[in-house]
Amino acid sequence: MSETAATRAPATAVPRARQIVGEPHAGWRSAIYRVMFESETRAGQVFDIALVIAIISSVLVVFADSVPALHERWGTAFEMAEWFFTLLFTAEYVLRFVCLRHPMRYAKSFFGVIDLIAILPTYIALLVPGIHVLIDVRVLRLLRIFRIFKLTAYISEYQALAMALAASSRKIFVFLSVVILIVVVMGSLMYVIEGPEHGFTSIPLSIYWAVTTMTTVGYGDLAPQSGLGRLLTTFMMLVGWGTLAVPTGIVTTEIALHHRSASGGLGGVLPGIGPAHRTCPSCGEPHHVESAQFCHKCGASMADMAGQETTISQ
């Protein structure tokens, strides 16, 4: 890479999310944007950590307020704390909205909807006091903790897990299809073997028994009485033990393959992974596979480097 390209690369490595919501060009909106949307900055990291603490604290207040004894004694304090967090999250939502060049794109995004859901229940309950069920929706604030994955220290781990899940999705789908087939067949057999006189009054109820047995939960509300039924139950338990380990093994294998390919340990072994690698234009971290979209160290976008590769020195 030439000196000019190396100098220009950090400026052009703009994450895709910033391009979607529209980073402001200058002024106070740009300053707010850097704090609230750029986790690679020191101020952004502090803000994200403070936000996670506020989210967890607000959910703990909801949990404590649901306990009758605590509500009777500390109900007023819980209500004041809830209004504090609601106003805090409202101010955060408004600031996020006004500092963007394309605020409606943020409002329609996943985190935009979750941010809105985090503050609406309290206001709706104020306008319609009888709607107490909406208060429980505040627990959805926990979903906002996924913002922590923007922190630089967690980007590589998050990408590794996401890539492993995506790579193993078809295998897991096939596995779940086989499990569903086994559950349906075994549940139907148990309905034929035991019948309504032993509590297996329908095939769906028998399938419910098969699910609880295969997952080794075994509530005990349905139990076979005949010898053949108990033999089938034993078989289902043994099959359940084996099936529980399959998804874990699939995902673990994909994670291991991702780490080895990212470090160049599988050169020439896997399709698309050869003795070449790409270097991050922002931090200079090497050993990125050709299909990488973001740096596994700093999180910078590598979209503009799609066609560029650097050969590993022997």
Q: Which CATH class is domain 10-150?
A: mainly alpha
Residue 288 backbone dihedrals phi, psi, to 5 degrees: -105, 135
Domain 152-262 sits in CATH 1.10.287.70? yes
What pLDDT, on a 0 to 100 scale, did the predictor assign at position 120?
84
Contact 119, 93 (CB under 8 A): yes
In the chain (314 residues long), the average pLDDT of successive 10-residue segments reads: 38 47 72 81 85 88 88 91 92 90 85 84 76 63 66 65 84 90 93 91 92 84 90 90 83 80 51 54 72 71 54 39
**How far is Cα of residue 68 from the mean position of the Cα atoms in its chain?**
32
Tokens of 40: 């690679």
Domain segments of the chain as ranges: 10-150, 152-262, 267-314
Contact 106, 122 (CB under 8 A): no
Phi-psi label, residue 3: left if phi above 0, alpha if psi -120 to 50, beta otherwise: alpha
Tokens of 109: 């995004």
Name beta bridge partners: 310: 277
User: What is the pTM for the complete model shown?
Assistant: 0.56
What pLDDT, on a 0 to 100 scale, did the predictor assign at position 181?
93
Residue in 226, 189, 182, 231 with CA at minimum distance from that of residue 206: 189
